[in-house]
Structure 1
Amino acid sequence: MSSEFLGRALIVVPAWNEEAAVGETVREILDSVPNADVLVVDDGSTDLTAEAAKAAGALVLELPFNLGVGGAMRAGFRYAVRHGYDAAVQVDADGQHNPAEVPDLLAKLHEADIVIGARFAEKGDYQVRGPRKWAMVVLSKVLSWVAKTRLTDTTSGFKATGKRALPLFAENYPVEYLGDTIESLVIAVRAGCTITQVPAHMRPRRAGTPSHSPWKSTVYLGRAGFALLLALIRRWDVSVRASTPRVPTPTATVERGAA
């Protein structure tokens, strides 16, 4: 770790029907990053995700309907800005991201506005094959060119966002499929933000079954290409502002769970 992060950090956990996994994920985050707060954004779940997160000790933001990862993260960014946090880190509810690596991402924020936990950066044994792998390689090469730095895993959801980029994402974070990864990085670069990466492990899901098949991988390839094209040609108001977002947060409740 190059330097210690000294600001206030919020760990944002988007969760949709993750009752079986989210409690243990929250507890592991609290053990690994005791000085950070954990906000679980319950993205319209129909199970007991919110209750499990509260019982584990997390703050819980309950959205009235499912918005997808991008919508859940935008709500998390707005919460972070309004409550004066200096950084927000996305950690998946299913346990695939290792909370012990969060301090590595936060430490890198002294030299970049966004830090990606990269699965293909000489750490761990995470592998993908076929069309999905081709899509990831092409996306990483194009986005490396856009960002003017080498990025090997531009679809990773394990990311730290610093104080300069928080207001930008609170207002402009994309909610479309793959927008939370591909398009968000293009928006950040156009706003003058810098991006870097650190190696990260990818672990098996704690619960549930990952959805992979040749057909879904092929669909992913097409949708990823379209998302990249859209990100490159779309025009955004991407001025980075340090003010609180004007757009209200969706109707929700925030509660602190009992540890």
Structure 2
Amino acid sequence: MDRSRIALVMPALNEAVTIADVVGAAARHASVVVVDDGSTDATAALARGAGAIVVSHRVNRGYDGALNTGFAEAASRGFEAVITLDADGQHDPSLVARFIAALEGGADVVLGVRDERPRIAEHIFALYTRLRFGISDPLCGLKGYRIALYRAQGHFDSYGSVGTELMLFAARRGARIEQVPFRVGRRTDAPRFGRLLSANLRILRAMILSWRRA
């Protein structure tokens, strides 16, 4: 697979502290698409200066909304695969090489498996997907997909799946899935996903809706 045909899609909300370094490191492996999700700081300008393609939302659309935009941008530009990763530095960009190797080896989907998960709802969702599909960490933001899967489904997310709808669509179709364990980095500020209770509720809602589609 030509590395120039792989897009690294990063949702970013007020990540001015880390975005330039993360984009610079990731761009050594493939083309970077940053979705600036309504940031009020210099995230977009710094990402663009580091060499990323930048698509900006005027207002915040949330994680799934940002990924919807990122996948649409990648598809419109003719990329053959998309790897999603966080802009906050918790995903070491050097891991991208392992994901690309798995895609080049024939995988349809490549999933990161974190060494730790901070929320109880993540463990519950992971138990469901492990028993149902053999997927160990459905909510990890580091994932790789062949763009053909996105085109087959017609969208990335339709119900606020916390980044899991396309993955589960692929699993139900019998796609070849590989998993890559890795150690999560530490962020220096508060997480963007939300407070503990609201985040757990969002995850449980996504799990229930995905189960109904099984």
Q: Normalising TM by the smaller chain, what interval?
A: 0.7 to 0.9
Within 5 Å, give how 1:228-239 maps onto structure 2.
228-234=207-213
| CA displacement at 1:169 relative to structure 2 | 5.8
Once residues 39 and 212 of structure 1 are traced to their aligned partners in structure 2, the CA distance between those partners, rounded to angstroms, is 20
Once residues 68 and 211 of structure 1 are traced to their aligned partners in structure 2, the CA distance between those partners, rounded to angstroms, is 10
What code does the residue aligned with 2:189 have? G
Pairs aligned (count) = 212
Once residues 223 and 180 of structure 1 are traced to their aligned partners in structure 2, the CA distance between those partners, rounded to angstroms, is 8
Tell me which residue corresponds to 1:173: 157
Cα contact 1:75–1:170 (8 A) shared by 2: no
Once residues 175 and 47 of structure 1 are traced to their aligned partners in structure 2, the CA distance between those partners, rounded to angstroms, is 28
Unaligned runs of 5+ in 1: 121-126, 236-259
What code does the residue aligned with 1:233 have? R
| CA displacement at 1:212 relative to structure 2 | 9.7
Cα contact 2:86–2:142 (8 A) shared by 1: yes
2:14 paired residue among 17, 24, 27: 17
Cα contact 1:74–1:170 (8 A) shared by 2: no
- Aligned pair 1:92/2:71, yes or no? no
Tell me which residue corresponds to 1:135: 121
Tell me which residue corresponds to 1:193: 175
What code does the residue aligned with 2:31 have? D
Unaligned runs of 5+ in 2: none
What code does the residue aligned with 1:162 have? R
Tell me which residue corresponds to 2:189: 208
| CA displacement at 1:204 relative to structure 2 | 1.1
| CA displacement at 1:170 relative to structure 2 | 5.4
What code does the residue aligned with 1:135 have? A
> Highest Rg: 1 or 2?
1
Distance 1:170 1:47, change over 3 A: farther
- Aligned pair 1:26/2:23, yes or no? yes
Once residues 62 and 119 of structure 1 are traced to their aligned partners in structure 2, the CA distance between those partners, rounded to angstroms, is 29
What code does the residue aligned with 2:26 have? I
TM-score (norm 2): 0.86
| CA displacement at 1:229 relative to structure 2 | 1.0
Taking only the aligned residue pairs, the percentage that are identical comes to 32
| CA displacement at 1:101 relative to structure 2 | 0.7
| CA displacement at 1:17 relative to structure 2 | 1.1
1:162 paired residue among 146, 158, 176: 146
Within 5 Å, give how 1:63-102 maps onto structure 2.
63-102=57-96
Root-mean-square deviation (Å) = 2.5
